[in-house]
Chains A and B, each alone.
Chain A
């Protein structure tokens, strides 16, 4: 850029908007994203219906057939499967983030924000807040249905909170990943497609069936994929058992995913202009 002689700036008396800081824009976008998701009737219905249906299917249809040890049949399976149902439903709920982020890019909304006087990355944080709210509801639904169909536990309040905390950390991690996918997806439709990956991943983990019942070639993946330690740790905690080192492995996975996704967002976001 060439240096130039300084000209007098425009009329200093002209109105200049103040712009806004991080906290105000975060509040404005959180309100916006929450309104958006709660007004999207079909999405909200799916967000509630999916965990209810999964709970009922796995309790009443699969629950009698799958033996996970413990000899309790249906009730033992219920205690076994609940964290996987939460994570499956959460994968669906978080994938909505990719769709709304990609809509913001495709409509030029993101471009407009980036010409405005405030930190525009808060628009992504607003979508993250609303994803957490949606998934918190889905998680609550799973627990309510669980208690209604016979889930009982001797876990302490601290253990239950730790289990929910781990689940929320995982949801936060995949929400950030979906925000990144929404930024790089070509269109809202293709962003929607990414949701399917996380809808199927929990089936190839210790979530619905013990890993040692799977064929040998599948076991290494199922044992070491990131959802397995999250699910194992959450399951042990909510059933009042000692989770061993699993919570720490789970936390490491979540933080690792988040660090990489946030770094990539920092690279991609400033370059992202819709054409």
Chain B
């Protein structure tokens, strides 16, 4: 594999606000692609995004994005990234096209280039019909799409998405996921935060699990599941109700031993052996249940 500059390269990164330690000695290096930072509320996800997108200067440690230091090289880095924050940061009083036009010009595009590219993005995100309407008349999903379109106006190499689907209904959420996949197909890298396991699993090549300011696990969804390991044996009655459940360490010996014990107890029930769900992975890694996936 040819050597490429890491998308994000963090070494010993720490951040405190007053007495509160928000990030503790983070170390990670990620290749270009889609990455998800998964964690409960208050884990430090937004703080990390704010540091990587040059908003906050870190207290200690080093953070490089696209090979550029987030503080020392911030002027150059700002030409290659875009931030889409937790709330749709578009101007409600302007139309969709006016928002794109304004941001395009601020990124240094000419007016005509900004409008041309704005038109393409509105088309891509299915907003062409509403391009002249004030954003205050948009639905939550439309606003979110425009918000991301605005971030793409100058073709950034990396886009940060802070909880992109929080507050969206299931359909808008799926539509947004499709857009994020399409970005990756076009070679734009994505670094997103989420508190939804299914979202991290559906989108990201690499998942970082952040808990209380520490990265507690890192890998693909399958790798994380393996990390937690084990398999659960479930017994269902004829009408499909779960009657008994037993965790094993996943080895053939443990599974057959457990199965033998359960078979003696419930000889007539149907057996299923199940790999751990992302919920169980998360529970085991962070010691707390998730906020509940938006499903």
Contacts and interface: CB of A to CB of B under 8 A. Distances in A.
A69 interface: no
B107 A116 contact: yes
Contact of A2 (B12, B89, B108): B12
Interface residues of A, number: 38
Contacts, number: 126
Contact of A18 (B46, B54, B79, B83): B79
Nearest to A2: B62
B106 A113 contact: yes
Interface in A1-51: 1-2, 4, 7-10, 14-20, 24-25, 28, 31-32, 35-36, 39-40
Nearest to B134: A39
A225 interface: no
Interface in A88-137: 106-109, 111-118
Given A1-B61, A2-B62, A28-B102, A17 B89 contact: no
B266 interface: no
A118 B104 CA distance: 12
Given A1-B72, A9-B68, A10-B66, A28 B83 contact: no
A151 B187 CA distance: 68
Contacts of A187: none
A64 B18 CA distance: 61
A17 B109 contact: yes
A10 B64 CA distance: 11
Contact of A111 (B12, B68, B89): B89
Interface residues of B, number: 53
Interface string B247-291: 000000000000000000000000000000000000000000000
Contacts of B79: 16-19, 117
A219 interface: no
Most A Cβ at <10 Å: residue of B64, B93, B98: B93
B179 interface: no
Interface string B37-75: 000000000100010011110101110101111011001
Contacts of A116: 78, 82, 103, 106-107
A16 B86 CA distance: 25
A7 B90 CA distance: 36
B91 interface: yes
| Nearest 4 Cβ contacts at the A-B interface | A18-B108, A108-B85, A108-B89, A17-B154
